[in-house]
Structure 1
Amino acid sequence: MNKYAYLIQAHNNVNIFKELILNLSSNSDCDIYVHIDKKFDINPFKKIVLENNLLSNVFFIEDRVNIKWMGFSQVEASINLMKEAIKNKKYKYISLISGVDFPIQNLSNFHTFLDKNNDKEYISFWELNDRPDWLHKIQYYYPIDFIEIRNWKKNIFRLLFWGVFFAIRNFLPKRKFIPELIPFGGSSWWTLTNNSVEYILSIYKERKDIVKYYKYTHAPDEMFFQTILLNSKYKKQVFMISEYNKWQAQIKDTYMLDEKLFNLRYIDWSGREDQYPVILDERDYQTLLDSNCFFARKFSEEKSISLIEMLKKHINS
């Protein structure tokens, strides 16, 4: 029987995490590895696993990272999860999700899909040159792990630093990108083969120049993995690569390809109620079912419990 690993980054919304863990762990072909942001108390999350007797396939990693939003620390948390997952086992596929994700379909459907589309890599991507508004992310030094950028207008020190930074950024010298590599970006969340995860970890260990470069970029968790895979032999295995190449050659000036086509996850970036991404609720139920995706985010305890109950009934029907 093929085995599948789910890597979860979580820090809040413990009740959403509980629903997610209960759903995933009910599948005997799954192992779940959990990283809890070092700033947060791990005990409420562990309590869920203990009370529901899930220790056989839910594992909390010990090498926890103090995650800074949009910093390289998010990459490090993912790397630590990947290391733990492949330490003693080989999985058919390894999926990175957040603690505020939830399945849209029964996991058996997802695993059947992965088996039928053997050896594909499911990661959203685009060349940064195709999205010029993203080029700043790699062109300037962003010391985000040292000076937090989240809510920078609400802290006097951050306001002074980032206020000056953004005012003068366009006048600063631009960084030269890593020779012989093409920069890519995309979503933080993916489903990859065991072999490609091993390859990413080898690059992380051996290519200190790549690691050093991305430590000072803006939201590297949305670029680091794409850049490694799309500059490797695994590029030809990336799902939708042929479609992207056609789009790039013919019609890229008209629209961007829909992100959910690449990584099988539904995320709403419409900005509804000034939320990026949108916190999903029962209004989104039919849209989720019609999306043909396997996972969705973002859910919250305040707004999404009713939707999760609806999805649970659908999944179990």
Structure 2
Amino acid sequence: MNISYLILAHKNPSQFHRMVKKLDAENVYFFVHIDKTADDVPFKQAFINYKNVFFIEEEKRMITPWSSIGICKVTLLLLNKVIKKFTSNTYCVLLSGQDYPLNNNKHIYNFYQSNYGNNYIVAEEIKDIWPEWANRFERYNFHLPNKRLNRGIFPIFDSRFLTLRNFKHIFYLLRNLGFTTTVNTVFKPKRIHPNYLEPKGGDTWWALPVETVIEIINYLKKNPDLLEYHAYTHVPDETLFASIVNKLKEKEQIKTTNTYTNWLRNDVELPVTFKENDFEELKQASKNYLFARKFDVAQDSAILNKLDQYINHQKTNISS
């Protein structure tokens, strides 16, 4: 069996180097997209002589604003690169450049080998996890480069068009996107999710057998309107893959994500950026998760040092 890590990175080249080198092992491969807003040279330099690290070509790199369809598109770029090399017996593990392992490579490999065929992705009822689900799925959402925000509007044919909030967003888009784009959006038809697929949702980060990946790619080829629809969805990466996997696989084949993320604190920007004093939380999480996000060496690198010490002294177990 092989493990193919798909990594989306946009900052902190040294942190990216550290993660890749920590995960590097026999039968492990890395497929990497560096956001087009970043200089990719510092990311690549450390891996010039590596035969198992593959970067998306310069002409295919994209700018991927937070919560935009760009994340889905670059993920599909990486997946298509994987299936040119592997069509069976491979786990595809999606990570960000700010993730880090909670377990050693032998444990990670044994886990996927022992549980091969499971799809580790969160696919929950959208109304249960997102109270604002209608804003995500029924507004025309726009994601502005270099700004961690989105603005969405309901078109004139939607009853929610005549609300103060909607008019505020229309004026915002007039100032930032211009008259033509905004007015054209106002007169678009009401947004309705494709009726052939039940929308599900959850965390962006997942691990799927390459056989499932091939099914996803074929499904999108048969239903090109699905990507077109999600061009206006807020955070489509949290629903597109989950919805397709839920459609294609039996319930017992779908397990929760392998990546631990803390969304529950009240006093910090979410998700939590882990620091040294979060070590015990991460140690506990390592019993049920293989990876965690997120980390930022510009804020705290000591937590990665502690995790390295912990990982290096772990006993290797196989769990499900």
Fold-level similarity (TM above 0.5): yes
CA contact (8 A) 2:10 2:38 kept: yes
C-alpha contact (below 8 Å) 1:70/1:149 kept by paired residues: no
- The AA in structure 2 aligned to 1:179 is N
Aligned partner of 2:204 among 185, 188, 191: 188
Match of residue 116 from structure 1: 114
The one-letter code of the counterpart of 2:260 is Y
- 1:46-93 Cα deviation digits (max 9, x unpaired): 11213xx4x211111112111111110110010001010111223421
Deviation of 1:152 after TM superposition, in Å, equals 6.5
Partner of 2:291: 295
Q: The residue matched to 1:279 in structure 2 has which SS?
A: coil
> Is residue 2:259 matched to residue 1:265?
yes
Aligned to 1:161: 173
Using the alignment, how far apart are the partners of 2:170 and 2:42 within structure 1? 31
Is 2:262–2:271's contact at 8 Å kept on the other side of the alignment? Answer: yes
1:278 aligns with 2:291: no
Distance 1:226 1:206 in 2: 17
Q: Give the deviation of 1:203 after TM superposition.
A: 1.9
Contact 2:142 2:150 in 1 (8 A): no
**Aligned residue number for residue 212 of structure 1:** 228
**2:65–2:143 contact (8 Å) kept in structure 1:** yes
Q: Which residue of 1 aligns with 2:53?
A: 58
Instruction: Give the residue type in structure 2 aligned to 1:161.
Output: L
- In the alignment, is residue 80 of structure 1 matched against residue 74 of structure 2? no
CA distance in 2, matches of 1:159, 1:152: 14
The corresponding residue for 1:10 is 9
Percent identity, please. 31
**Which residue identity lines up with residue 95 of structure 1 in the other structure?**
V
Describe the superposition over 1:161-200 as per-residue Cα deviations: whole angstroms up to 9, x where unpaired: 28999xxxxxx98522211321111111100011111111
Q: Tell me the residue number matched to 2:18.
A: 19
What is the CA RMSD across the aligned residues, in angstroms? 2.6
Q: Give matches, 1:199-238, under 5 Å.
A: 199-233=215-249, 235-238=251-254
Whether 2:178 is the aligned partner of 1:178: answer: no
CA shift digits 1:247-276 (9 cap, x unpaired): xxxxxxxxxxxxxxx102111112454211
User: 1:253 is matched with which residue?
Assistant: none
Separation of aligned partners in 2, 1:233 and 1:46: 37
Q: Which runs of 5+ in 1 are unaligned?
A: 166-171, 240-261
CA contact (8 A) 2:279 2:303 kept: yes
Q: Following TM superposition, where does structure 1 have runs of at least 4 consecutive aligned residues deviating by more than 3 angstroms?
A: 162-165, 233-236
Q: Say if 1:89 and 1:311 are closer, same or farther in 2 by CA, change over 3 A.
A: same
1:144 match: 143
Q: Whole-Å Cα distance in 2 between the matches of residues 7 and 158 of structure 1? A: 37
Identify if the C-alpha distance between structure 1 residues 214 and 152 changes in structure 2 by more than 3 Å, giving closer, same or farther: closer
Is the partner of 1:143 in helix, strand or coil?
A: strand
- Structure number having the greater helix percentage: 1
2:64/2:71 contact within 8 Å kept: yes
Contact 2:143 2:149 in 1 (8 A): no
Shift of 1:287: 1.1
Runs of at least 5 residues in structure 2 that lack an aligned partner in the other structure:
152-168, 178-187, 314-320
Q: 1:235 Cα shift?
A: 4.5
User: Residues 163, 288 of structure 1: CA spacing in aligned structure 2 closer, same or farther, 3 A cutoff?
Assistant: farther
**C-alpha distance in 2 between matches for 1:110 and 1:16:** 20
Name the CA distance, whole Å, in 1 between partners of 2:64 and 2:147.
12
Question: Is the Cα contact below 8 Å between 1:17 and 1:99 reproduced in 2?
Answer: yes
Contact 2:93 2:207 in 1 (8 A): yes
Equivalent of 2:86, from 85, 89, 92? 89
Could you say which residue in structure 1 is the equivalent of 2:32? 34
Number of residue pairs matched by the alignment: 281
Cα distance change, pair 184–311 in 1 and its aligned pair in 2 (3 A)? same
TM-score by length of 2: 0.81
Task: Report the secondary structure of 2:5's partner residue.
Answer: strand
Structure 2: which amino acid aligns with 1:279? T
Evaluate the alpha carbon distance shift between residue 235 and residue 207 of structure 1 in structure 2; reply closer, same or farther with a 3 A threshold.
Answer: farther
1:115 CA drift (Å): 1.9
Is contact 2:194–2:226 with CA below 8 Å preserved after alignment? yes
Task: Give distance in 2, aligned partners of 1:316 and 1:159.
Answer: 55
TM-score, normalised to structure 1, is: 0.82
